[in-house]
Chains A and B, each alone.
Chain A
C-alpha cells in the first residue's frame, strides 16, 4: 500500500500544527480560516502535495472551529459562521458557564466535521463519476449554475451577479491560451501591460490580496479599537461540562450537520447561512425552544455542528467538479494548481492515494481539533487578547512571501497583491460581493474555453438547451435558483411590513 508510506509523523505533525494555527486565527476576531490558509500557503511550497494538503486541511478545520471562542467569551464571532454561537454561548458564559459552552461547541464541531467528511467520502466520487460524462456544453452550464447560485444567494442579487461577471472579466485579462485551443492573442489590456499580464493575474496573489491585505485595511480604517479586551468573561469556576448534555440532541446534531454539509456543497454560500439555517430549524422543530437565545446548549449544538459540517461539504464540488464551495476552498484550488494537480471530475480517479490521504487528513484534523480545544481551551481563550499591532504587520509580511514565491520570484505578483488588496477594500465599500467575484475569477477562463469550444463544435447556440437531458436539467436548476432567490427577496420585503 503506497498510501501508508505517506502516513508519516510529519504528515500528522503538519495536521496538528495546521489545526492549532487555524484555531488561533479563528479565535482572533476579524481573522478567518480563509486568511489562515492564505497566509500559511507559502509553507506548503516546500512540502509535497500530501504534506501540503495535511497542513491546509488542518488550517481549514481549525480556522472554522476557533471562531467559537470569541463568540462565547466576548460576544463577537471569530468567523462569520460562528454568528449564531453568540446567541446562546455568550449568555451561558455570562452566567459562569463559559467553559461548558465552549466544550459543548467543541463536541458539536467534531460531530459536524466527521459527518461531513463521511458525506464527502461517499458522495464526491459518485458526483465525479457522473461529471466525467459531461461535454463542454454541460461543463459550461455547471459553471453558469454555480455562478447563478452564488450570485442569487448574496445579500443583493444584482450586485452579486455583477460581482460574479466582473470576476469572470478580470480572469480573461491576458492571452487566449494556445494550450487551451486559443489563438495566443492578448486582450483586455493596453500594449505596455503585455509584459506583465501575458498570462493574466496569478490566482493566489489575487486571493491573498483580497483576503489578507483587505482585512488589514478595513481594520486600519477603524483605528484598531481593541474589542478583544472588552467584556471578556473568565473561564474559571462555573458549571462543569458533562457529556449528558447531549442527551436528546442526536436529531439536532444530525439535522444541523446535514444542513451544514448541504450548504457547503452549494458553491459560494457562506458559513453564516449554514449556521443561521440550522439554528432556525432547531428553533422551529425542537420540543422546547423557549430557552434558545438565552443560553440553551441546543443552540450552540446546532450552530457549531452546522458550521464545521461546511468543511467536508465545501470540498465536494471542489474535488468532483473543480468548483470551490467557499472562499477557503477557492484558495485550496490555488494550492492544488501550485502542486501541478488539476481538480475536477478526473481528480479522484487519477489521484486515488491523494484522495484517501485527504479524507484521512480531514478526519485527523477534526480529531486533533477536538483534542487541542477540549484539553487546552483555557489557554486558547487567551489568544483573543493578542494585539493586532503585533499580528497584522506579520500577516502582510507572510502575504508577500505567498505572492512572491508562487511563480518562483516575480515581483509583479507582489504588486498584484497590493492592487487587489486595495481593490478588495473598494469593493467592500461599494457593496460588491467578494465570494462571487472570486469564484467568477477562478472559473472565468474555463467558462470561456467550454463556451467557445461548444460553439466551435456545434455552430449553434441552441445546443446549450438541447445537447442532452442533463443540459436541460441544469437549465431547470438555474431557473429554480433564480426563482428561489426572487421569492426570498419578496418574502423578506413583505415580512418587515407585516411586523410593523
Chain B
C-alpha cells in the first residue's frame, strides 16, 4: 500500500529534455507567484502604475527627468561609442581612455547645479586626470584588459 502511494512520486528525466526540467518548474512557480501578487495587490498596483506614469511624464512628484534620462543616454552612448572605437584601437585601452574623459566630463556637467568658472576647471581637470590615472594603473601597470 505504502509503495503504491510512493510510486505516485516517481519521476524520470529524459536526458535529451533534461535542460528544460528544472527551468519549467521554476517558470511555473514564477507564474503562480506573479498571479498571486496580481490578485492580492491589484487594488494597490493600478493606482501605483497610474501614479508612476504621471511621475515619468512629469505631471506629478519630484523626478529629475534631465538627470535621470541624461544619465541613461550618456551611459548608453558611452558604451556604444567605446565599443565602436575599440575596433579602431584594439587591445590598447585607448578607446576606454578617450570615451571615459568625454563621459566623465559630460556626466559631471549634467549633475552640477550651479556651474561657475572655477567649478568648470575642476570638472575638466577631474575628467582628464581620473580616467588617465585609471587607464595607466589598470592597463599599463596591472595589464588589465580594457576596451
Contacts and interface: CB of A to CB of B under 8 A. Distances in A.
Contacts of B18: 176, 182-183, 452
B40 A158 contact: yes
B96 to A, nearest CB: 7
Given A397-B103, A429-B52, A158 B33 contact: yes
B79 A415 contact: yes
Contact of B107 (A43, A161, A396, A400): A396
A448 interface: yes
A222 B71 CA distance: 12
B86 A397 contact: no
Contact of A400 (B68, B96, B112): B96
Interface stretch (A82-90, A349-357, A459-467, A474-482): A459-467
Contacts of A411: 79, 83, 86, 147
Chain B contact-residue range equals 35 or more
Given A183-B19, A460-B10, A165 B83 contact: no
A164 B54 CA distance: 30
Given A162-B33, A455-B11, A455-B13, A401 B62 contact: no
Given A169-B23, A172-B23, A397-B130, A461 B143 contact: no
B60 interface: no
Contacts of A340: none
A11 interface: no
A451 B103 contact: no
Nearest to B65: A221
B37 A162 contact: yes
A422 interface: yes
Contacts of A224: 64, 67, 111, 113
Nearest to A396: B75
Interface in A179-233: 182-188, 213, 216-217, 220-224, 226
Interface in A389-437: 389-390, 392-394, 396-398, 400-401, 404-405, 408-409, 411, 414-415, 418, 421-422, 429
A127 interface: no
Contact of B62 (A161, A175, A222, A393): A222
A461 B9 contact: yes
A393 B107 contact: yes
A246 interface: no
A221 B71 CA distance: 9
A388 interface: yes
A220 B40 CA distance: 32
Nearest to A422: B72
A165 B30 contact: yes
Contact of A414 (B12, B79, B103, B134): B79
Given A460-B9, A462-B6, A405 B71 contact: no
Contacts of B68: 217, 220-221
A401 B144 contact: yes
A270 B108 CA distance: 32
B75 A418 contact: yes
Chain B CB count within 10 A is highest, among A188, A221, A451, for A221
B116 to A, nearest CB: 13
A45 B142 contact: yes
B46 interface: no
A33 to B, nearest CB: 21
A188 B26 CA distance: 11
A408 B52 contact: no
Given A42-B144, A389-B112, A390-B126, A175 B79 contact: no
B137 to A, nearest CB: 8
A169 B26 contact: yes
Chain A CB count within 10 A is highest, among B12, B33, B76, B83, for B33
Given A388-B111, A400-B96, A409-B147, A393 B6 contact: no
Contacts of A462: 6, 9
Interface of B: 6-7, 9-13, 15-16, 18-23, 26-27, 29-30, 33-34, 36-37, 40, 52, 62-64, 67-68, 70-72, 75-76, 78-79, 82-83, 86, 91, 96, 100, 103-105, 107-108, 111-113, 122-123, 126-127, 130-131, 134, 138, 141-147
Interface of A: 42-43, 45-46, 158-159, 161-162, 165-166, 168-169, 172, 175-176, 182-188, 213, 216-217, 220-224, 226, 388-390, 392-394, 396-398, 400-401, 404-405, 408-409, 411, 414-415, 418, 421-422, 429, 444, 447-448, 451-452, 455-456, 459-462
Closest 5 CB pairs of A and B: A46-B142, A223-B64, A176-B19, A389-B111, A393-B107
11 contacts: A43-B138, A162-B33, A162-B34, A182-B19, A213-B75, A221-B64, A390-B122, A394-B104, A394-B130, A404-B147, A461-B10
